Structure 1
Amino acid sequence: MKKLLIILLILPIYGWAQTNFEKAEKLFHSKKYNEAEVLFEGILKSSPSDIKTLEYLGEIAGHQKSWVKGAAYFKKLKTLKPNTADYFFKYGGCLAMRAVEVNRLKAFTMVGDMKEAFEKAIELNPKHVQARWALIEIYLQLPGILGGSESKAIAYSNELAQFSPVDGYLSRGRIEDYFKRYNLAEKNYRKAHEIGNSKVTFQKLYNLYLNKLKDPKKAGELKQKFESS
């Protein structure tokens, strides 16, 4: 009788949580992030370790550009689910976006945690594309005295090439572009576009022709060919 009474007391609470979770999900998918956040935060009060609720709140924080809040959610998620690569990647991503907003001295203090998060994502998922891209950017943009390294950026680009040739060529093109070696950047972006023939590969090569090589003729020919394909 006592067990039955407990079940009868719990069921309405469980039903309320499910109903609110479903409402919050619908609001999230409708991009009504503020409304969804209120409901998810209410659910989190009664279930502080609910994985899906934390994940949604982390995503909402990202959409709202609330990087500190997002980092806190994904930090908790990577603690609760230490074998999920994306939680480490998204934690590092929130830190990286926050670093863009703060002064350089503060940003540099965050680099170690960023690198550690992205490296852990790769350890857990050896084919994690985005984590390698993030590390390439870190090694490109950091001054050498603080750990910046073209050779390390190239090493991650080479790793990408092993399982994603398009990303391999795009990332190598990005490295050459960053150091203003535009002819080498063109070579790599062109190879990426030959393989991928996507909006992303087109845009990289098109922007290089138009803005870096100052060759509107090549840019126009590329655009015409891409739009007719």
Structure 2
Amino acid sequence: MKGILILLFPMLLLAQSNFEKAKESFDIEKQERFQKQYELILKTDPDNVKALEGLGDIAGFNKSWDKAVQYYGKLKTVKPSEANFYYKYGGSLGMKALEVNKFRALGLIGDIKSSFEKAIQLDSRHIDARWALIELYLKLPSIVGGSESKAIEYSNQLLTLSIVDGYLSRGHIEEYYDRFKSAENYYKKAITVGGSKHSYQTLANLYKNKMDAPDKARTILEQYKEKNTVN
């Protein structure tokens, strides 16, 4: 089950997750102070959105998924029109699924999926929720809802919102199914359109880890470095 669910929440892959962003912004020494402040706020204002989200992010940062689910779940009730709260709830629920037995994890899949779908319903341009659904449909066996065609459907949606994300996500799908040459072509398209370090690194990883071409991996990273060297 861990192999199925480990990438449900896009905390790595091709876009940073909210929890990864939180790791960058949280000063460890300040975290405890923030937590106490937020908890004090909730004592007098139990529906305070900022405090609930802050505590949810801190819980996620500390991998306390039950607490994260609790805070984000409350946020959905307090502010049901906010797409990102459904996205965070679905993500933390996905991470919680890694820590329970496979039968309980299977029982969470419906809520995880519906949370990401709700995020898209509320925010038609929500990119991260589409990435999460791509992972969901790739990693789940077909017997419990996995579907390459659904993953491609969300990749096509990404292409209309962000050409780079569209190419990267389709490349990721092709790579997942060992269609490495096709994946290479999509990653190259992402580089041509966006030229981000992440796009170059993704292609380099494909060369190194899947295509047994370490020389190509080094070359593509050197190309990025040359293009971004300040003279």
Query: Could you give the per-residue CA deviations for residues 51-89 of structure 1, whole angstroms, max 9, x where no partner exists?
Result: 111111111111111111011111111111111100110
Residue 42 of structure 1 pairs with residue 40 of structure 2: yes
Q: Distance in 1 between matches of 2:219 and 2:201?
A: 13
Residue 98 of structure 2: SS of its match in structure 1? Answer: helix
| Structure 1 residues 170 and 81, CA gap change in structure 2 (3 angstroms) | same
What residue number does 2:27 align with? 30
What residue number does 1:52 align with? 50
What residue number does 1:187 align with? 185
- What TM-score do the two structures reach when normalised by structure 2? 0.84
What residue number does 1:146 align with? 144
- What TM-score do the two structures reach when normalised by structure 1? 0.85
Rg: which structure is higher?
Answer: 1
Residue 168 of structure 1 pairs with residue 170 of structure 2: no
Same amino acid, percent of matched pairs: 50
Match of 1:96 among 91, 94, 97: 94
Shift in Å, 1:105: 2.1
Q: Distance in 1 between matches of 2:143 and 2:26?
A: 44
Residue 125 of structure 2: SS of its match in structure 1? Answer: coil
Match of 2:133 among 116, 132, 135: 135
Residue 101 of structure 1: SS of its match in structure 2? Answer: coil
Which residue type is aligned with residue 184 of structure 1? S
Q: Distance in 1 between matches of 2:34 and 2:91?
A: 22
Whichever structure has more helix as a proportion of its residues is 1
What residue number does 1:82 align with? 80
Unaligned runs of 5+ in 2: 1-24
Shift in Å, 1:103: 2.7
| Alignment check: 8 A CA contact 2:201 2:221 kept | no
What residue number does 1:113 align with? 111
Match of 1:211 among 174, 199, 209: 209
Residue 148 of structure 1: SS of its match in structure 2? Answer: coil
Query: Could you give the per-residue CA deviations for residues 161-184 of structure 1, whole angstroms, max 9, x where no partner exists?
Result: 011110001110111111111111
Shift in Å, 1:107: 1.4
Q: Distance in 2 between matches of 1:185 and 1:100?
A: 28
Shift in Å, 1:34: 2.6
Match of 1:155 among 153, 156, 168: 153
- Equivalent pairs, count: 202
Shift in Å, 1:39: 2.4
Q: Distance in 2 between matches of 1:217 and 1:176?
A: 22
Query: Could you give the per-residue CA deviations for residues 137-180 of structure 1, whole angstroms, max 9, x where no partner exists?
Result: 00000010001000000000000001111000111011111111
Shift in Å, 1:101: 2.5
| Structure 1 residues 29 and 211, CA gap change in structure 2 (3 angstroms) | closer
What residue number does 1:9 align with? none
Q: Distance in 2 between matches of 1:103 and 1:197?
A: 42
